[in-house]
Chains A and B, each alone.
Chain A
């Protein structure tokens, strides 16, 4: 009886894994099929011979290098700034003493229920007035600080004992030195988590870059890919190659640091 149960559970787990993985498998193998080869019945799961031409075309004729570069610069830039600003803010909320601190933080938290879409038009107009539309800053600047990021750092910074900060004060450190030499090193795990969230969130974001990047030279990969998909709707294999290129960098980053990502989800789900 227990054995039947065991194999049943195992079969289910594997079945779900196959379903989850199948689209990825098909995407990768279709990207290596010659043009038109994926549109057959029955669908083929593996290419008969490998054809790299779609990747070549994407990079040579379709400007994908530029989009890849845009995505990398924007994601890294957003990550860098958001780590700094959020960690300073989160640390201050966790360890500084000033009046109205708790009520200010509660106010921030409760405002998280407002969906970001509300702000899109005003922010767009603001950035337009600042002359930042079609620049990397249009994506980086609004994402430099987030309530969620501050929350995440704050939760973690609580675990740093006050005496650690006091010891540094006695050792002669200024507030800034305490932050740079004691707090930041101690917060390394949560910084990796937040960095990962920011990097992947920025990389995968679609709506905002679609709005602020109207010049095709400034497209990020998802926008370029969406654009490509409406222009080359018949060219399945090419689109799959484009999808692979869009997904692979973020998957590599995720696979390398997945432990931190999972931890971050748990921390984010801890209620006050």
Chain B
């Protein structure tokens, strides 16, 4: 227990960072919320006299906007399929790398991690060519097992799976690192006790690893979900939301409405819809976890 710190010191140390956060985060959130009830558009941008309060009109328009529902559907597709796949890939990679058979763990971990730190845009460009229907590496490799060729980015049925595949490849290393830390925190004695009782490797995984990792998995699922709801760079660079809007995500739609057409009111309403969806998604996950824990 120390003295209270002098107010001047508190102001000096906290002032700058809190000012920046207030100015560039909290105020904009409030402003965006206000804007979502106006018809703020390119005319109002030039002259604020054109700005009108429209109450919930933006939100009601959104709900009857087929493109919005397409974006919602695509984003949910991406989150619901890509999220679990991503978490599963991370867990699998973590378990693999945690195996006592593997030497040079550091090297493999580094390789697995490389896509994480690589620029989205560069990755998306490279993968656009990997997905090339005629010359692409992926179709070439699939050819060996008698599959394809698939027009990955040109076929509306395959465009989202293509983006999911790319994102899983890019991100699995990140959560893998967290899983490895979680795995290393599981006491070795638990496995020893289980193997003495005759549990097979799979049984050990199911009855020790998975439950012991539950808090880690919850954390990873939540951050992965929040991040995946914000899908943007990959479809922007690879497909511009196409073909036939099959990869139009909420953020991409929001970007187009806001920064291409300057429908600012409409775009901020979209942003708040996204926020609400993320909030609901997060609370559902916490609730599921709680129920599972009884």
Residues of A within 8 A of B (CB): 5-6, 9-10, 12-13, 16-17, 19-24, 26-27, 30, 38-43, 84-86, 88-89, 91-93, 96-99, 108, 111, 113-126, 141-142, 144-147, 149-150, 162, 166, 175-176, 179, 200, 203-204, 206-207, 211, 221-223, 225-226, 229, 236, 239-240, 242-243, 246-247, 250-251, 254-255, 258, 261-262, 265-266, 269, 271
Contacts and interface: CB of A to CB of B under 8 A. Distances in A.
Contact of A258 (B110, B129, B130, B274): B110
Interface in B37-51: 45
Contacts of A114: 29, 275
Given A13-B97, A17-B112, 12 more contacts: A10-B102, A40-B135, A43-B140, A86-B17, A93-B14, A96-B13, A119-B25, A121-B271, A124-B259, A125-B264, A240-B129, A265-B177
Interface residues of B, number: 92
A262 B178 CA distance: 9
Contacts of B272: 118
Interface string B254-278: 1100110000100110011011001
Interface in B151-189: 169, 173-174, 177-178, 181
B126 A122 contact: no
A243 B129 CA distance: 12
Contacts of A20: 111-112, 114-115, 169, 173
Interface stretch (B53-61, B65-73, B76-84, B230-238): B230-238
B137 to A, nearest CB: 5
B119 interface: yes
Interface in B84-111: 93, 96-97, 99, 101-102, 108, 110-111
Specify the main secondary structure of chain A where it touches its partner.
helix
B145 interface: no
Contacts of A246: 119, 121-122
Contact of A221 (B16, B117, B119): B119
Contacts of B112: 16-17, 20
A26 B125 contact: no
A5 B20 CA distance: 55
B219 A118 contact: no
Contact of A38 (B135, B230, B268): B135
Contact of B177 (A111, A146, A175, A266): A266
A266 B181 contact: yes
Contact of A122 (B21, B31, B223): B31
A17 B236 CA distance: 28
B33 to A, nearest CB: 8
Contact of A222 (B5, B9, B121, B181): B121
Given A146-B21, A166-B2, A26 B135 contact: no
Contact of A17 (B4, B111, B226, B229): B111
A120 B174 CA distance: 26
A30 B126 CA distance: 10
A16 B29 CA distance: 42
Contacts of B21: 108, 145-147
Contacts of B10: 92, 96, 98
Interface in B11-39: 12-14, 16-18, 20-21, 23-29, 31-32, 35
- Best-surrounded residue of B25, B101, B113, B282 (most CB of chain A within 10 A): B25
A227 B120 CA distance: 14
Nearest to A250: B117
B293 interface: no
A166 B1 CA distance: 11
B246 to A, nearest CB: 19
B199 interface: no
A250 B5 CA distance: 40
B118 interface: yes
B243 interface: no
Given A38-B135, A89-B13, A126-B28, A23 B96 contact: no
B232 A89 contact: no
Nearest to B282: A113
B108 A17 contact: yes
Contact of A111 (B12, B25, B226): B25
B119 A13 contact: no
B28 A122 contact: yes
Contacts of B115: 20, 23
14 contacts: A10-B101, A26-B130, A85-B17, A86-B17, A89-B18, A115-B226, A125-B45, A200-B117, A225-B119, A236-B129, A246-B121, A246-B122, A251-B114, A254-B117
B129 A38 contact: yes
Contact of B178 (A93, A222, A269): A269
B123 interface: yes
A75 to B, nearest CB: 12
Contacts of B101: 5-6, 9-10
B134 interface: yes
